[in-house]
A = this chain, B = another copy of it.
């Protein structure tokens, strides 16, 4: 595919908008990645960052929803849970994750919330040749990202999902929300030694001095070690896992696959 560029001087009065809400927002990559995709498909939508402090979320979301050419929102930390209040309808993925990372205006003017973190992760996993069906996955981190990835893995056919987090309350909350849908397949604890796939869904690894989220040496030979951290591309976890001969999966495919999902969400048929 050529690398098309979009000339912002082509932003006109007719251009539609998607705002990315975050605090901070300076680090978000969606504007650069998604604007390129929209331009390539000839979709006259521009993605812009919106720096929104927690106390201002309602004011900003109501304002964007009242702006007729805003077609949708992307939502990142710390707003994924609270933004659900401003949706009229929620997808199963958003319900099960307990948070949304995308909202869009439906044809009838109501707002739909969805969550593509889990679908993006699973698409990246499958793309790299790691099929989830029948596997045992240990998911380390039951915060926002983990809570979104867990139901996506179960929905994709994972046989056993073990949830692990330093915060027991989080684990319990996610397990209780998902168990009615996948009874007998959700476990808590560690269980690294029997996992086919171990996923870091914590932010550990973004900072150069972060401790490891888990010790990859405890995983069995042949187990896939996946990380959702995108920066750096090769975290210390992945470097150590690769050093032990484990196959690894970085965070980038999850992000890239989400961009394709967002494209379909905001510009169906493009």
**What is A's interface to B at a CB cutoff of 8 Å?**
5-15, 17, 20, 22, 24-29, 31-32, 35-36, 39, 46-53, 56, 59-64, 66-70
Contacts and interface: CB of A to CB of B under 8 A. Distances in A.
B13 A27 contact: yes
B67 A52 contact: yes
A11 B11 CA distance: 12
A8 to B, nearest CB: 4
Given A6-B7, A9-B36, A68 B52 contact: yes
A68 B47 contact: no
A59 B69 CA distance: 15
Given A8-B6, A9-B5, A39-B8, A63 B69 contact: no
A26 to B, nearest CB: 4
One complex includes copies of this chain to the number of 2
Contact of A63 (B7, B49, B66): B66
Nearest to A19: B67
Contact of A17 (B22, B32, B39, B48): B48
6 contacts: A6-B7, A12-B49, A15-B48, A51-B68, A53-B68, A63-B63
A10 B11 CA distance: 13
A11 B26 contact: no
B26 A13 contact: yes
Closest 10 CB pairs of A and B: A63-B63, A51-B68, A6-B8, A13-B28, A56-B66, A8-B8, A51-B69, A5-B7, A59-B66, A13-B26
Contacts of A49: 11-15, 17, 69
A35 B8 contact: yes
Contacts of A27: 13
Contacts of A69: 25, 49-51
A190 to B, nearest CB: 35
Given A11-B35, A12-B26, A53-B66, 4 more contacts: A12-B32, A12-B49, A50-B67, A63-B63
